[in-house]
Every structure is written in structure tokens, then in C-alpha cells.
Structure 1
């Protein structure tokens, strides 16, 4: 199997069918990082409501976020669900920035990607998908983000096992694709759209999916 060729063919098919996704939505890198934490275990529509609340309260900067009491922060992010847990995770993220003498996440841009990823993973509440989303979308680091959608699509196409580990699934892409932030960004976004629109968890619409021809081969 020429994995590089197959993955690029999938990308081109999705890109031609769906068009640019312009993902991740966010006006600043810090807002993107906050969104990556808030989107855990919920959908983006709920995160948008929480982001809107934070923005209205001038809370989408490190200094702005720090001014809230725990109760105030929980109320503002309540639409995202698991608001007590996520408020603590945001506090943990702020502490991470402070411990690294960073006024904002962009102060860490020049750090080595691998070591920065390990430091992010050491923050309680930041797992591989969240860390990689921050690296790719907030800091423009060439890290391919994978998720349950990625796993679902490529397992159904019999290219990966269902129980593949996160790092192994990530390597499935990064081992053969060029280190390209724009490619990684758009590829992940296209897979998310595909999973939500056609390759649904239940009742997938394979007949209308742009990737249907790959199932026929």
C-alpha cells in the first residue's frame, strides 16, 4: 500500500468536494487555545456560546481570564458543559503559561515542538488531541491532529484497526505526509466535516460521501 499516495488522494477528493474549511475559528491564538480546551466532550456550537460569553466579559486574554472568580468563570463557560472541570483546566493552562514565563501562548512559538508538546501534556486536563490542536491551530506547528472522526473514517475504509492508539494513528499520517501546517490544518478540518456530514457514527450516508469511490476499489 502506497500510504502517501492514498492519503493525498483522499485529501484531494475531499478538498475538491467540500472546499476550504477555514478551521480553526478564533480571532487570536489564545482564543483558539481556550476553544481547544472547551470543546472537550461537547460540540462546537456549545463552545461558541461560551466563547461569546467570555468575549463579552473581556475574558479572552490571559489577564482577562485571571480576573474571574471560580464561580464567575464557571458561569461564563457553562454552555460548553462540564463547566466546573473545564474551569479548572483553564486555570491549569494559565498556570502553565505563568510557569513558562509566557504572557500569552504565542510567547512559546519558538520552543521546540516536541518538548513543548510534552510540557502541554503535563498540564492536568490537556490530552494529546487538545495539545496538538493548540500546537497546530494556535502556534502553527506542523503537528497532525487526529480524533474519533479520523479513526472512524479510516477504520471503515479498512486502512487502520479500530483500536489504534492516538500516537500510532497520528504517525499513520505524519510518517508519509510532508510537514506542512496548511495541509495538516485543512486535512483535519475536511475529515471533521466528512464525519459529521456523511460518515456518521450511526446511519452513515456512504452513497453520497465524497470518499465512496475508495470503498468500491
Structure 2
């Protein structure tokens, strides 16, 4: 299988996913931090706490809390003290724009990414998730699932995050909806079949280098 065929192959397996990351953009911004080093079920529990506590604009609501208060609210997401500090830093940056997400959205992708990456605790994956899903600008999100899928199917592995990102952006049309769905398809496949211990015998992708090598070795 050619790399250019990956999107259609995954879509044929999992169907239309649309915008994979759930929630309004305010929730996406928050959950992009909360999802670090945990599963979505834990993130959702933290979001439930936030929704119960905050009425109206959750970003302004959370921005008024101390780190300690914030950490208690997001406790279900794990690593809550670290995430509270990172989220607080992000909220302080948003506050410089008067919590006006439309104003932030006027930044071009490059400058928005630069500003997000200047925030202590916001790395490339988190920044790109916010850019793609909350501000709906075309940048591809590379996570551990993406690296695993590309490494196993195509035997392609880059040390640098942006090399992996550019592999997608230089191969596929820069399209927000495509990138959102494509990233979601990769995550779904990694969770369902291409796990840490892959279920190759159940995987419908025939043209996979990892599966082929595994078969030849008799594993």
C-alpha cells in the first residue's frame, strides 16, 4: 500500500468519523491539556466536573481559579497538579486576548503555533491539537498512535515531531476536515487493532510491512 492510500484504507474500515475530537472549542482547548498521559474516559470525568462548576464561559470561569482549585476540579484526569499549572498558563495567555477566541483565530497558523509553544507546558502535540480541532486550521496532529501506525505499516520513523507532521502535510491536501478525520481514523485503528501488542490476525490491512515481517518470522 502506498502512503497516499492510507486515509482511504482506514476510512473503508471505520467509515465516516467527521470531526473526531468532541466538544465546543472551549472544551477542546481544555481537554487538549487534560488528555496528556491519560485516557479519554478520565478526561471526560474531569470535563463533567468543569461543566458542573462553571456556568457560561468555562475559560473565564477556570481562569479565575487558583492552581489548587483547578487541580481539584481536574483531579480525575490524573497528574492534576502538573496539568493545573499548564492549564493555568494557557488560560493566562488566552486572557491576554480578553478570552476572545475569535480574535485568537485571526492569527495565521504559524504565529498561533509559535505563541502556543511559548507557553510553559504546551508541547507540539497539544498545540497542534488546539490549532486543528479548536481553531480549525490545517495542521496535522502527530501522536504516539500516528507514529506507531506509520512505523508498522510503512516502516517510516522520524526522530523529530515536525518531520512526521510534514510527511502528512506534504503528501495530503491541507484540509481541516480531512486532517481531523484522518487523525481520528489513525487513533481508532491504533486502539482497536494496532495496539501495543497488535492484533495483526484481525487487521484487514493486508499490505502492512510489520504484518508481513511477522508472518515471515512465524510469530
Structure 2-normalised TM-score?
0.89
Q: Counterparts in 2 of 1:118-197, with a 5 A limit?
A: 118-161=114-157, 163-197=158-192
Quick check: 1:13–1:210 contact (8 Å CA) kept in 2?
A: no
Residues in 2 aligned to 1:106 and 1:159: alpha-carbon distance in whole angstroms: 41
**Equivalent position of 1:212 in the other structure:** 206
Q: CA deviation at 1:88?
A: 0.8
| Number of equivalences | 209
**Equivalent position of 2:13 in the other structure:** 17
1:50-105 C-alpha deviation (Å, 9 max, x unpaired): 00100010166221112323322111100000101111111101111123x24233
Quick check: 2:154–2:208 contact (8 Å CA) kept in 1?
A: no
Q: Counterparts in 2 of 1:4-153, with a 5 A limit?
A: 6-21=2-17, 22-26=19-23, 28-58=24-54, 61-99=58-96, 101-153=97-149
Structure 1: unaligned runs, 5 residues or longer: none
Structure 2: unaligned runs, 5 residues or longer: 214-219
Q: CA deviation at 1:125?
A: 0.7
Residues in 1 aligned to 2:179 and 2:22: alpha-carbon distance in whole angstroms: 15
Structure 1-normalised TM-score?
0.90
Residues in 1 aligned to 2:155 and 2:28: alpha-carbon distance in whole angstroms: 31
